[in-house]
Amino acid sequence: MRVWKFGDNIDTDAIIPGRYLTIYDPRELASHAFEGTRDEFSKDAREGDIVVGGSNFGCGSSREHAPLALSGAGIHFIIAQSFARIFYRNAINVGLLPLICPDAGEIPDGSKISVRIREGYIEYGERKLTFEPVPEFLQNIIDAGGLVEFGRDRKEVPLCTKSQ
């Protein structure tokens, strides 16, 4: 699984420019992913490739088009030192798994890594880089198959006003 390495503060305008926001199809969005900032991504990214970023990955707009574009490109995992808040939730909601890995900076572009979800680490050569577990409430959503499935299965939700 090839790594596409990016730096700090990768914003959602870079992931998918504003002029493509009338598009909702993930594959079509993917054909414009990183347009103008890293054009080879949309051409060469393959199913199962992994995006690795620095700190504050996905900052900026709330556009869900950004994780959708990456998903449409065949990406399943995004590994970064930290994520912007809205992007993190959006990624999970569209079926991408954002993994917070303090050592993400050590993973070079083009390298081969594998993500051991159950074991909680990323295998890079001889190294095992650990990532933070996803918060429990979000893990429940992932386990349900995503927020759409989580929401579809319910008529009402357990509000904090009621004892849980």
SS (H, E, C) the chain: CEEEECCCCCEHHHHCCHHHCCCCCHHHHHCCCCCCCCCHHHHHCCCCCEEEECCCECECCCCCHHHHHHHHCCCCEEEECCECHHHHHHHHHCCCEEEECCCHHHCCCCCECEEECCCCEEEECCEEEECCCCCHHHHHHHHCCCHHHHHHCCCCCCCCCCCC
Q: Is 101 in the site for another protein (CB under 8 A)?
A: no
By CB under 8 A, is residue 71 in contact with another protein?
Answer: no
Q: From the CB of 1, what's the least distance to another protein, in Å?
A: 26
Based on the shown chain and the rule CB under 8 A, indicate whether residue 107 belongs to the binding site for another protein: no
* Nearer residue to another protein within complex by CB, 14 or 51: 14
Which residues lie near another protein (CB under 8 A)? 9, 11, 13-14, 17-24, 35-37, 55-56, 59-65, 82, 84-86, 89-90, 93-94, 135-138, 146-148, 150-152, 154, 156-161
